[in-house]
Structure 1
Amino acid sequence: MADVVAENGAPRRGRPPVSGEQRRRQRLEISRHAVRLFAEQGVAATSGEQIARAAGVSERTFWRHFPHKESCVEPLLTRSVDAFCAVLRAWPAELDLIDHLRTAYQPVLDAGSDDDVEAVLAVVRLTHHEPALRAAYLMLRERDEDALAEVLAHRMALPADSIAVRVQAAAMSAVLKAATDDVAAATAGGITPEALEDHREHLARALSLVLRGLSDASSLMRER
């Protein structure tokens, strides 16, 4: 095993430290294998050992990344929310949200193929009959409201913890969840470009209704 240099400059033996990017990639790869196994044989019949073996990592590494096997879905689901937040951050001030989403929104951030999109939608479908995954999914959605609030706070020029921002973030999260549930059901037989285009359009229209009062709410809160 090669020598590595410790923080104090002294040589030491051992594996080089894993970078944050390497850790993220490894968690995502484990997540992909976990979702495939969950879909094939169910959550109860899938063990951490099986997931680790499929992903080519040790059980020790697997449990270091995830506190329980159900949490394996989080890296994939997080990519979906990250994609939406990225689009919101890039929303031009002069452009209507519906027009921006029509051209810029993708269901998964930096998806190189449809595989990760299908994996995310597979998780969503699984949550309807796997209670443990449903709980993990809903908890993640709740945490995602904080990310949405940060983006909206900048857009609305209000504190992220203000009631106007938090209500808008909760509403947007609910719309995103409903739209994702719909496209997951519609693509149970396979993803098509038409289905993803419909998803983008439905999401844009629903969010335009939710955010119709964004400017009014922002003005009202600043007057107080």
Structure 2
Amino acid sequence: MSAGRAADPTRQAAATGTQTALLERRKTALQLEIARAAVTLFTAQGVARTTGEQIAQAVGISSRTLWRHFPSKEGCVRPLLTSGLDSAVDALGDWPADVSLVDYLDSLRQRQVLPTPEPAVLQLLQLACSDPALRPVWLQAHDDALDILAGLLARRSGQVRDALPVQVHAAILNSALRIGAEDFVLRSAQDPRALPQHLLAALRIASDSLPY
């Protein structure tokens, strides 16, 4: 009897962990659905003329639920900007020591390990480049990514995250990704499958003088 009781907390902890992971997946899925609906409405009628209530209605949730997830209607698009970064960071966990960053990312692209950006992402990039209301969200997403890139480069170089070279190199690569995406959109490119190659070209230019 005592052995059975001793095992209960372990089983309970495992069940709690499973439930938490399920809730987190549902939360992520809902936030992405909200982001896609926001992009559709922003594209159709403009950011200024779109309300949070309209976004919530398009998803089939209450306005109260929407505001629990996002502080503003513009912020609703953030998940589409960060999902690609999350995938890239996960893939870089296996970055070989004898391969450059750009070459490794290019090999992932050729092997189709990195997901192709969905059309909504391209629509969002076009909006972020043209609508001043979404520009701060786009820039903030890149600012948030800076610390993640610094962590990756710190592990790669054996330096601490806040070392000046690591911070500068991370900023260079981060800016290259942002400028590459904006350049892709400004050239009126319509195929999301071509975006990764354009970003890699920008990274290659930036990394020519970097030790990665």
**Common topology (TM > 0.5):** yes
Identity of aligned residues (%): 38
Q: Alignment length, in residue pairs?
A: 193
Question: Which consecutive residues of structure 1, in runs of 5 or more, have no partner in the other structure?
Answer: 1-8, 10-15, 216-224
Cα distance in 2 between the residues matched to 1:150 and 1:96: 16
Q: Give 1:110 deviation, angstroms.
A: 6.6
- Give CA deviations for 1:97-117 in whole Å, capped at 9, x if unaligned: 3321222149xx974xx6x53
- 2:129 and 2:182 in contact (8 A); partners too: no
Q: 1:58 to 1:39 in 2, by over 3 A?
A: same
For 2:164, the aligned partner's letter is I
Asked whether the 8 Å contact 1:128–1:134 carries over to 2, the reply is yes
Distance 1:205 1:197 in 2: 12
* Aligned position for 2:77: 73
**1:12: which partner in 2?**
none
**What residue in structure 2 maps to residue 178 of structure 1?**
179
RMSD of the TM alignment (CA)?
2.6
Matches of 1:28 and 1:196, distance apart in 2: 20
The residue aligned with 2:3 is none
Hey, what's the Cα distance between the residues in 2 that align with 1:94 and 1:121?
33
User: CA distance change for structure 1 residues 197 and 70 in 2, over 3 Å: closer, same or farther?
Assistant: closer
Counterparts of residues 73-92 of structure 1 (less than 5 Å): 73-92=77-96
Residues 101 and 200, structure 1, Cα contact 8 Å, conserved in 2: no
Task: Kindly indicate whether residue 95 of structure 2 is the aligned counterpart of residue 95 of structure 1.
Answer: no
Q: Does 1:37 align with 2:7?
A: no
CA displacement 1:184-203 (0-9 Å, x = unmatched):
23454x3164x346415414
Matching residue of 2:164: 163
Unaligned 5+ residue runs, structure 2?
A: 1-11, 13-18
Task: Render the CA deviation track for 1:189-222: whole Å, top value 9, x for unaligned.
Answer: x3164x346415414422432xx3336xxxxxxx
Amino acid at match of 1:130: D
1:54 is matched with which residue? Answer: 58
Q: Which runs of 4+ in 1 moved over 4 A?
A: none
- In the alignment, the residues of structure 2 paired with residue 86 and residue 44 of structure 1 have an alpha-carbon distance, to the nearest angstrom, of 35
CA contact (8 A) 1:102 1:200 kept: no
8 Å CA contact 1:84–1:105 kept in 2: the answer is no
CA contact 2:91–2:114 (8 Å) conserved in 1 = no
Kindly provide the amino acid, as one letter, of the partner of residue 39 in structure 1: T
| CA–CA distance in structure 1, aligned partners of residues 88 and 202 of structure 2 | 11
Q: Which moved more, 1:83-92 or 1:166-175?
A: 83-92
CA distance in 2, matches of 1:56, 1:166: 43
Contact 1:39/1:122 (CA < 8 Å) preserved in 2?
yes
Query: In structure 1, what is the Cα distance between the partners aligned to 2:192 and 2:125?
Result: 17
